[in-house]
Structure 1
Amino acid sequence: MSKPPPPGIYVPAVLFFKEDDELDEEAIKAHVLRLAKGHVTGILVQGSNGEAQHLSHEERKRAIHLTRTTLDAHGFRHVLVIAGTGAQSTRETKQLNLDAKEAGATHALVLTPSTWRPAMTKELILRFHREVADASPIPTMVYNFPTVTAGIDLDSETIATLGAHPNIVGTKLSCGHLGKLTRLNTSLSADSFAAFIGRSDCFLPALVVSGAGGIMALVNVAPRVHRALWDAWHAGRMDEARNIQRILAHGDTIASKYGGIGFIKALIAHEFGYGGPNVRGPLATASVDKLSVADAEQLKELITLEKSLP
């Protein structure tokens, strides 16, 4: 039976572009190394934050391969690479899973198709994920993110049903639903299925209900802060864990408020000296210059803590 990714901290890595819209490979490599040095368990390439839908198949393979080879070349072979492989047809998703395996990914995170939203009954959703998993050379995970799937929000019963498949080994809950996470954790064996929260603003609560960890956008900015919360929780230092959760919760909502993917890229470039805010259309670039005084102070606390940690 296939195995899920180990518990821990995963990052849906942003992908950097040059001003001419081409991949900025040097910035991508710099980002991969900062994340690895920040003690992440794994890197998700082509999650929603990686602008998967804006890339050609060849670019997707290049990004996965570049991430894997960069990690290997710098002594981070233990850091997993997961590939986002969701597409709007079963056929294309199967091909993306084959590409991901070839490029070096160990697991695939699969979005539910949503172009034909009214037609996506529970039966069709189950059939899609099962057919994809049947054909996949690597274990698959169910990616539940209603914001990018036209409002399709898989319930815990549906995800648990899929979790019975021998090659479906986990889920990312970007819906942030802690009740759903709890039900999955208490319905499926942790040896065969890992339920990860997809938002930093509920990272600690997810750990409290025995979640496997998180695959969270804000890890792009502050991997060490997330690791510090993880370590504090597991060491029983609850006051410290709660304080870090406070900082993450504010940082998470600020990143969304000022532009999401583009803002995360702009903040990384501003604070860590690589990359830039470029995104592919129809997304818009963002800037740190528009922060309110209060939000700037909240982010300063996050960044200062990140830079202070080993």
Structure 2
Amino acid sequence: MMRGIIPPIVTPLRSRDELDVEGLERLVQHVLAGGVHGIFILGTTGEAPGLSYRLRRELIERTCRLVAGRVPVLVGITDTAFVEAVHMAQFAAESGAQALVLAPPYYFPNSQPELLEYVQHLAPELPLPLFLYNMPTHTKTIFEVETVRRAMDMPNIVGLKDSSANMVYFHQLIRLLPQRPQWSLLVGPEELLAESVLLGGHGGVCGGANLRPRLYVDLYEAAHARDFEHAAALHAEVIHLSTTLYRVGRHSSAIIKGLKCALRELGICDDFMAEPFHRFREEERERVRKVLAELKITA
């Protein structure tokens, strides 16, 4: 079972199709030093759909080499083409990754029977355990509770990351866990990390752990231990970060821009964004500097 904090790391870029290799090395060491329980690459925070297949493969290879088995590496294989998802999964396995992560194909809307059949066809062809990724804001399709229940019958599917921010849905998934006691149920929105763990979830895939990994690890551990007072204090820090850094920009891309800008200000990695997005300009960058100072975040 996968438990704890698995940061969805940003993809450090120098240009449209060039990794910031030294930045990736510093970022991986930074999050590992914070005690994280795994690393997730090629997710939403990693801007995966905006990256070339060549660059995705380079990122997988380099990250697995840098991590060197210290924690599990999870690789996003979400794609609009079935065979490309399989190819990326095969490359991830050859590179030393431990698990795969799959959201619904995100162009054509999927009915639940179609989505279930897609997963039933794909899972047996994958060389590694698979986590489902519920991200309806980006894919237009939800993994409905009954679809998840059916997916639990497939031995190669070992968990789900829920980024819906719908706690009613999350509670419904918790009720399914007795069906597969070793299944992992992880939450995406870090603002719900404490609540989800206290109520039976197994951890979080929290973007803020790129920046402050130890904060999210400590919050997970406090919630898991049911240390309510400590968890409440750490949760307040997470909310403070969320309501300041993530609101510097005006658009939905502001969360990733804010994280990348903050990481650059700390000297960890470049903040180049995959197009159609662009990094923060100087006015926004100055606001990020003020947030970092206010939150006493230093390299």
- Superposition TM-score, scaled by structure 2 size: 0.90
SS at match of 1:11: coil
SS at match of 1:64: helix
Q: How is 1:164-183 mapped onto 2 (pairs within 5 angstroms)?
A: 164-183=153-172
Task: Say if 1:176 and 1:199, in contact at 8 Å, map to a contact too.
Answer: yes
SS at match of 2:66: helix
Residue 281 of structure 1 aligns to which amino acid in structure 2?
Answer: E
Task: Say if 1:144 and 1:175, in contact at 8 Å, map to a contact too.
Answer: yes
Task: Say if 1:248 and 1:302, in contact at 8 Å, map to a contact too.
Answer: no
Match of 1:140 in 2: 130
Q: Distance in 2 between matches of 1:215 and 1:235?
A: 19
Q: Structure 1: which 4+ aligned runs deviate by more than 6 Å?
A: 295-298
Q: Are 2:220 and 1:230 aligned? A: yes
Q: Are 2:251 and 1:268 aligned? A: no
Task: Say if 1:178 and 1:205, in contact at 8 Å, map to a contact too.
Answer: no
Among all aligned residue pairs of Structure 1 and Structure 2, give the percentage whose two residues are the same amino acid: 25
Task: Say if 2:262 and 2:292, in contact at 8 Å, map to a contact too.
Answer: no
1:153/1:179 Cα in 2 relative to 1: closer, same or farther (>3 Å)?
same
Residue 11 of structure 1 aligns to which amino acid in structure 2?
Answer: P
Q: Are 2:229 and 1:239 aligned? A: yes
Residue 154 of structure 2 aligns to which amino acid in structure 1?
Answer: H
Residue 89 of structure 2 aligns to which amino acid in structure 1?
Answer: N
Task: Say if 1:160 and 1:188, in contact at 8 Å, map to a contact too.
Answer: no
**How far did 1:284 drift?**
2.2
Q: Are 2:14 and 1:29 aligned? A: no
Q: Are 2:82 and 1:87 aligned? A: no
Q: Are 2:103 and 1:111 aligned? A: yes
1:298/1:163 Cα in 2 relative to 1: closer, same or farther (>3 Å)?
farther
Q: Distance in 1 between matches of 2:276 and 2:174?
A: 37
Residue 260 of structure 1 aligns to which amino acid in structure 2?
Answer: I
Match of 2:145 in 1: 156
Q: Distance in 1 between matches of 2:245 and 2:154?
A: 36
Match of 1:213 in 2: 203
SS at match of 2:234: helix
Q: Distance in 1 between matches of 2:257 and 2:206?
A: 16
SS at match of 1:48: coil
Match of 1:63 in 2: 59
**How far did 1:185 drift?**
2.2
Instruction: Point out where structure 1 has 5 or more consecutive residues left out of the alignment.
Output: none
**How far did 1:58 drift?**
2.5
- Superposition TM-score, scaled by structure 1 size: 0.87
Match of 1:99 in 2: 91
Instruction: Point out where structure 2 has 5 or more consecutive residues left out of the alignment.
Output: none
Aligned residues between the structures:
293
Using the TM superposition, name which of 23-32 and 235-244 deviates more. Answer: 235-244
Task: Say if 1:263 and 1:287, in contact at 8 Å, map to a contact too.
Answer: no
Using the TM superposition, name which of 178-187 and 249-258 deviates more. Answer: 249-258
**How far did 1:218 drift?**
1.1
Deviations 1:108-154 (A, max 9, x none): 1001012112xx111110011121111101011111112221x3222
Q: Distance in 2 between matches of 1:235 and 1:288?
A: 43
1:269/1:219 Cα in 2 relative to 1: closer, same or farther (>3 Å)?
same
Residue 131 of structure 2 aligns to which amino acid in structure 1?
Answer: M
Deviations 1:260-287 (A, max 9, x none): 21221111111x2121221111012125
Deviations 1:162-189 (A, max 9, x none): 1221111111111122222222222124
Residue 263 of structure 2 aligns to which amino acid in structure 1?
Answer: I
**How far did 1:23 drift?**
0.7
1:239/1:60 Cα in 2 relative to 1: closer, same or farther (>3 Å)?
same
Q: Are 2:126 and 1:126 aligned? A: no
Deviations 1:166-224 (A, max 9, x none): 11111111112222222222212464311100011111001111101001111111101
SS at match of 2:244: helix
